[in-house]
Amino acid sequence: MTRKDRAKKTIEALRVAVPQPETELDYGTPYELITAVILSAQCTDERVNKITPALFGEFPDAKALAAAEPEDVYPFVSSCSYPNNKSRHLVGMARMVVDEFGGDVPSSVDELVRLPGVGRKTAQVVASVAFGIDALPVDTHVFRVANRIGLAENASTPAKVEAQLKRIIPQEDWSEGHHLLILHGRYRCTARSPQCDGCNVAPYCLYYERLQSLPEPIAGLDKKKGRYYCATRRHYFDTPDETTDRYGTPQIACPRCGSMNVYLSSTGVTTRKVRDFRV
């Protein structure tokens, strides 16, 4: 299956699994959206949605926020991560919106990235969600899910993932695809424990395919003879060697022959790990 086919199938499957592919941040205007997105860095949307009603009540538009000092904003955002920085960024953003854009949040990514606290990802979210511009911002969820499924290949940075996704997903699907991948990553394909059972992307997912190709457990091992069992040399041992496989994933190896064909003797389960992206 080509990566383009994999992307098509993934989007189709996620359209069924994620009925409402849209931001979970509460907002009414572009100003409210950009404020909420700045606050959402390293913070959950749920927490941001608890903060913003009082913040928007006090500072209803860019003009009101531009007239404030960061210390005035701090009490409203103190329960969020990095409140000092975010207070400064919000006031700086509002002042530039007022001074350079007449009080209206600009719509282009190039203009948005000039605002304090606004990186490429935030700019693309605002351009896409508030102004309907095709964009495919890559956050940690999109990065992890795209790598796991195999939509991205050897892409070590969000910018590389973004470039690869844009080559295989049609432009008209970028914004929807972004939300589908985020919500899939947030609720099913989570960093620590992806719920692969019942995932309707599984038939197209490289990570799942590799999990399925792990060797079956061996029955009847005797844990009294050692913690590990090497199925290549057929012996038990307690202290393994460590090695990395061709994907760079750390693996346990037999100290005698270096084989990675090793099992836990207590359960009979292979010690082989599939390359993962737990960001």
Q: Judged by CB under 6 A, which stretch of 73-81, 120-128, 171-179, 202-210 contacts ligand SF4? A: 202-210
Is 192 or 234 the residue whose CB approaches ligand SF4 more closely? 192
Is 14 or 135 the residue whose CB approaches ligand SF4 more closely? 14
Interaction of residue 138 with ligand SF4, rule CB under 6 A: no
CB atoms within 10 A of CB 63: 14
Q: Where are the alpha helices (DSSP H) in the chain?
A: 3-17, 30-39, 45-58, 62-66, 70-77, 83-101, 109-112, 120-131, 140-149, 158-168, 174-187, 206-212
Catalytic residues, by residue number, are 121, 139
Shortest CB 145 distance to ligand SF4, Å: 6
Shortest CB 194 distance to ligand SF4, Å: 4
Shortest CB 212 distance to ligand SF4, Å: 10
Considering CB under 6 A, how many residues would be counted as binding ligand SF4? Answer: 13
* Cβ–Cβ under 8 Å, residues 7 and 161: no
Binder among 95, 148, 179, 186 for ligand SF4 (CB under 6 A): 148
Shortest CB 9 distance to ligand SF4, Å: 11
Long-range contacts from 230-239, C-beta under 8 angstroms, 24+ separation: 230/254, 230/256, 230/257, 230/259, 230/261, 230/262, 231/259, 231/261, 231/262, 231/263, 232/257, 232/259, 232/261, 233/257, 233/259, 236/265
Shortest CB 184 distance to ligand SF4, Å: 7
Task: Report the C-alpha dihedral over residues 174, 178, 181, 185, rounded to 10 degrees.
Answer: 170
Q: At what angle do helices 158-168 and 140-149 cross, to 10 degrees?
A: 60
- Tokens 């997912």: give the residue: 205
Is 207 or 237 the residue whose CB approaches ligand SF4 more closely? 207
Binder among 112, 115, 149, 169 for ligand SF4 (CB under 6 A): 149
**Over 79-102, what HEC string results?**
CCCCHHHHHHHHHHHHHHHHHHHC
Shortest CB 246 distance to ligand SF4, Å: 20
> For ligand SF4, what does the binding mask look like between residues 171 and 200, x meaning CB under 6 A?
-----------------xx----xxx--x-
- 147 HSE (CA, 13 A, CB side): 24
Scan residues 207-236 and list those touching ligand SF4 (CB under 6 A).
Answer: 207-208
Is 33 or 201 the residue whose CB approaches ligand SF4 more closely? 201
**Minimal CA–CA distance to 178: which of 158, 155, 196, 202?**
158
Interaction of residue 201 with ligand SF4, rule CB under 6 A: yes
Q: Which residues bind ligand SF4 (CB under 6 A)?
A: 148-149, 188-189, 194-196, 199, 201-202, 205, 207-208
